[in-house]
């Protein structure tokens, strides 16, 4: 088995897995924050856990960016043919613009909940 191909597949898996971790961490922060608003006695304990999930999300974002950059160098051109490839590239640009907006919005949304 070719080591380069194995690393390319592993990079893609890490990218997708880190994206799932990022989304789960952001959702968990929101749920923890709701819980500590309902139960003020838990605030001290839950604030620390929220911060841990925040830093986990930052780590996941770094992995997403690094492995995404790795995907750029292993990109296979014209896999689907020239017409489909043009559409695919446009869709990838749109997807990444939307995802960067989601990163920004996600952190704007949880920042005040974590560091209040």
The ranges assigned to domains in the chain are 3-114
This prediction's pTM: 0.79
User: What is the CB neighbour count within 10 angstroms for residue 110?
Assistant: 21
pLDDT, tens digit, for every residue of 78-110?
667 777 778 877 888 898 899 889 888 888 888
Q: What are phi and psi of 4, to 5 degrees?
A: -60, -45
DSSP structure string for 50-68? HHHHHHHHHHHHHHHHHHH
pLDDT, tens digit, for every residue of 35-46?
888 888 888 888
Cα separation, 22 vs 103, whole angstroms? 9
């Amino acid at each position: 088995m070719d080591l380069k191909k194995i690393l390319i597949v592993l990079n893609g898996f890490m990218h997708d897995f880190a994206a799932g971790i990022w989304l789960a961490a952001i959702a968990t922060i929101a749920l923890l924050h709701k819980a500590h608003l309902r139960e003020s006695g838990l605030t001290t304990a839950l604030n620390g856990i929220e911060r841990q999930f925040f830093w986990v999300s930052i780590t996941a974002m770094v992995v997403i960016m690094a492995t995404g950059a790795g995907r750029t160098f292993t990109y296979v051109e014209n896999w689907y043919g020239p017409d489909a490839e043009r559409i695919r590239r446009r869709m990838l640009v749109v997807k990444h613009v939307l995802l960067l907006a989601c990163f920004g919005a996600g952190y704007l949304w949880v920042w005040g909940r974590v560091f209040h």
